[in-house]
Structure 1
Amino acid sequence: MWIIVLFDLPTDTKQARKQYTKFRGFLLDDGYTMMQYSVYMRHSSSDENAKVHVKRVKQKLPPDGEVRIVKITDKQFGKIEVFYGKKRRPIEPPP
């Protein structure tokens, strides 16, 4: 099971940038890696384990902005197509 966190947070004030940095730091500390800007992913061994991590994200939501959480299976994750320019590259290997 993969958890993907997508977020769009304001960075127009010093306080907003602090909230952004704090949320991003939480994700990194909780085992997420950056998939691309404002998109972080984490592998979980089961749906039950994924629910624990989703609950942690919900507890750390910043006061402003938008956060979305998507859970997908290993099989679905393996079907992601990644392109850099027009060249296709393989996806990240699972842990």
Structure 2
Amino acid sequence: MVLFTMFDMPTNTKKDIKKYTKFRKKLLEMGFIMFQYSVYIRFCKSLAFAQKYEAKIQQSAPTGGSIRVMKITEAQYKNMLVIENYREKPEKKVQKQTQTVLVF
């Protein structure tokens, strides 16, 4: 399961920027990676796991913005059409998901 989080937040004032930065850092702490500007993804091992992260995002959501969360399967993710006409080297398509577990 792949969890997409897309957001649009105002950055007109220092207070807005602080909210934006705090939310972005929270996503990174939860293991999301930047897919595109304001689009972050996280691979989840199950639907229940993805729903847990949806709840965490809801709790972390600042006021004054728009956040969208979408779940798709890994098969759907692999079938994504990527069109890049501006880069010299196209990105490599992810064939296999790998996960690193750190135990302390």
TM-score (norm 1): 0.92
Which is worse superposed, 52-61 or 82-91? 82-91
Number of residue pairs aligned between Structure 1 and Structure 2: 95
Aligned CA-pair RMSD: 1.6
Long gaps (5+) in structure 2: 99-104
Q: Return closer, same or farther for 1:62/1:91 CA change in 2, 3 Å cut-off.
A: farther
Distance between the aligned counterparts of 1:92 and 1:39, measured in 2? 17
Match of 2:57 in 1: 57
Moved over 3 A (4+): 86-93
Structure 1 residue 33 displacement after superposition: 0.1
TM-score (norm 2): 0.84
Match of 2:93 in 1: 91
Helix, strand or coil at the partner of 2:83: strand
Q: Percent identity?
A: 36
Structure 1 residue 60 displacement after superposition: 0.4
Structure with greater strand share of residues: 1
* AA matched with 1:10: P
Point out the structure with max Rg over C-alpha: 2
Q: Return closer, same or farther for 1:91/1:9 CA change in 2, 3 Å cut-off.
A: farther
Structure 1 residue 10 displacement after superposition: 0.3
Long gaps (5+) in structure 1: none
